[in-house]
A and B are shown apart, each in its own frame.
Chain A
């Protein structure tokens, strides 16, 4: 045993003390509250999606003549194909929700403020990548929603002044949806976005380690010590969250498995069509304003939130103690909820 230990300690020259220091970051007490641990949940879901995504890619065939039938084959004929696909789909839904909730928590607790501005921007990058991953994911099935979603997205790109036509052609691999389009969406979904997200995640976690977790002290926290150990305390919390998620995802996969909608028909847009719930807000926005105004305003709002830590910094320098971010956040969240509910309850 000691020879084995010597073998590894010679080849991995890190002392036990250093290893303990690296893995056992002191965790502030407020992280015992689950809503402060929402950052780890998307990371866990991301791993599930990578694993199930690799399994799905073993049978999936991009292309308008093959995609729909290959997804049907996975869903109906491959052993446990329905389960793998349903886990992938539900993980995606939960991941979008988890990233949004994590972002909201960070926003409303002001945890993005100096010196963590850059990490907020990385987090915004992760949020946008997650949404792009979700969109390209349901585009791959080549059902009606996939086709018309991709068509609308390419026209959103086309609405950008100057660069629009170029962006649309790059996205569709042609002037309109064609036999090369799905391959491009598959590359974005299965290669580009995961690579980008891994890079952003590594940066995100590295920044959290460098700055430490933002510390909050609650009135009911009467413990003498301000921190607890990452190993084993927080690690076990994450394991419990992981197990709970696996139970919930499996239950949903069995109770509400991923289904097949009608195959894409490029000649007929369904009389009622809606994207996934997380795009309801942008879908409604597109109904309210002319295309270019809607697209530019959406891009501008996302850009503002990307830069929000710097804007907030300027505001607080001018008016120290200002809580403008609370009002901006509340108005934004209420608007998003209102537009989402509006889109959800009406047919058109």
Chain B
């Protein structure tokens, strides 16, 4: 029989416990089947628990780190005036005084993140509008969506508060590395020019060769 598929023993030679194979199942068969089903269900439940643990493991629990940072004295911003605040992450935030009062409600701090798909908007001064290059979202100077998919949505506001005549803003304190930060840190500590990207209009690293040529 060797060398051929289909050389298994005949079906008559098997101790057949397939459900329904015997004409009259005994109580012993029924108990055995219940036990086996219970074991199979337990195995399924244990996999279910493992799956639940896996989802919990993968689901991020750490919240974004945020902090209240000082922006300016309230009196330093005239009504209708604004200033640019740079968060530790590097994000530029437009902080504007929209009313006379000196409460937090008199100020807004506009996020530059488009509420549509999360891209960064930029200010087009000629058209007096914020424009999102990803999906053509347009916002007016107050951050209200006026054209494109985010029409009707507004640029988010960072929370602001006033304490003792001082204006504070709550912003994320973590940031991802950027090319500019890398360039800046490399320039301050000496760098390997070969391994760093060269950006247009950016100060470039001086290597020993450069010094020698100079």
Shortest Cβ-Cβ A-B pairs, 4 listed: A269-B119, A155-B117, A269-B120, A263-B179
* Interface mask (B148-186 → A, CB under 8 Å = 1, otherwise 0): 111100000000000000000000001111111010000
Interface residues of B in 101-154 (CB under 8 A from A): 116-122, 132-136, 148-151
| B117-A176 in contact (CB<8A) | no
Given contacts A265-B178, A269-B119, A287-B148, contact A9 B3 (CB under 8 A): yes
Nearest Cβ distance between residue A165 and chain B, in whole angstroms?
11
Given contacts A263-B179, A273-B134, contact A294 B120 (CB under 8 A): no
Complex formed: what's the CA distance from A133 to B86 in Å? Answer: 37
Complex formed: what's the CA distance from A13 to B5 in Å? Answer: 7
| B118-A152 in contact (CB<8A) | yes
The interface stretch among B24-32, B34-42, B60-68, B75-83 is: B60-68
Interface residues of B in 1-35 (CB under 8 A from A): 2-5, 7
Interface residues of A in 1-36 (CB under 8 A from B): 9-10, 13-15, 18
List B contacts of A18 (CB < 8 A): 4-5
List A contacts of B59 (CB < 8 A): 166, 169-170
Given contacts A170-B58, A175-B63, contact A287 B119 (CB under 8 A): no
Complex formed: what's the CA distance from A263 to B62 in Å? Answer: 26
Interface residues of A in 173-190 (CB under 8 A from B): 173-180
Partner of A270, one of B4, B133, B199: B133
A side interface size, CB within 8 A: 51
Nearest Cβ distance between residue A6 and chain B, in whole angstroms?
9
Given contacts A18-B4, A174-B60, A273-B133, contact A262 B177 (CB under 8 A): no
Nearest Cβ distance between residue B201 and chain A, in whole angstroms?
13
Taking chain B's interface residues, is the majority helix, strand, or loop, or is none over half, making it mixed?
A: loop
Place the interface of chain B in its size category. 35 or more
| A152-B134 in contact (CB<8A) | yes
List A contacts of B92 (CB < 8 A): 267
| B2-A64 in contact (CB<8A) | no
Partner of B117, one of A69, A156, A178, A263: A156
A325 at the interface (CB under 8 A from B): no
Nearest Cβ distance between residue B137 and chain A, in whole angstroms?
9
Complex formed: what's the CA distance from A18 to B151 in Å? Answer: 66
B91 at the interface (CB under 8 A from A): yes
| B64-A265 in contact (CB<8A) | no
| B117-A265 in contact (CB<8A) | no
| B174-A178 in contact (CB<8A) | yes
List B contacts of A170 (CB < 8 A): 58-60
| A13-B7 in contact (CB<8A) | yes
| A290-B5 in contact (CB<8A) | no
* Interface mask (B48-73 → A, CB under 8 Å = 1, otherwise 0): 00000000001110111000000000
Partner of B4, one of A13, A172, A260, A290: A13
B195 at the interface (CB under 8 A from A): yes
| A267-B177 in contact (CB<8A) | no
* Interface mask (A128-169 → B, CB under 8 Å = 1, otherwise 0): 000000000000000000001001101110000000001001
| A151-B117 in contact (CB<8A) | yes
| B177-A290 in contact (CB<8A) | no
Nearest Cβ distance between residue A322 and chain B, in whole angstroms?
37
Interface residues of A in 104-126 (CB under 8 A from B): none
Complex formed: what's the CA distance from A175 to B149 in Å? Answer: 22
Partner of B2, one of A13, A176, A288: A13
Listed by A's residue number, 14 A-B pairs whose Cβ atoms lie within 8 Å are A14-B5, A15-B5, A151-B118, A152-B118, A152-B134, A170-B59, A170-B60, A178-B174, A265-B180, A286-B135, A289-B149, A290-B149, A294-B149, A348-B133
Known: A263-B197, A269-B133, A283-B135. 17 other contacts (CB 8 A): A9-B3, A13-B4, A14-B5, A73-B195, A148-B134, A151-B118, A155-B116, A173-B58, A175-B63, A263-B178, A268-B120, A268-B122, A269-B121, A271-B122, A273-B133, A287-B149, A289-B149
| B135-A287 in contact (CB<8A) | yes
* Interface mask (A43-87 → B, CB under 8 Å = 1, otherwise 0): 000000000000000000000110001001100000000000000
Complex formed: what's the CA distance from A269 to B148 in Å? Answer: 17
Complex formed: what's the CA distance from A73 to B194 in Å? Answer: 11
Complex formed: what's the CA distance from A177 to B89 in Å? Answer: 13
Complex formed: what's the CA distance from A174 to B60 in Å? Answer: 5
| A72-B195 in contact (CB<8A) | yes
Complex formed: what's the CA distance from A14 to B3 in Å? Answer: 5
| A267, A268, A270, most chain B CB atoms within 10 A | A267
Complex formed: what's the CA distance from A14 to B59 in Å? Answer: 49
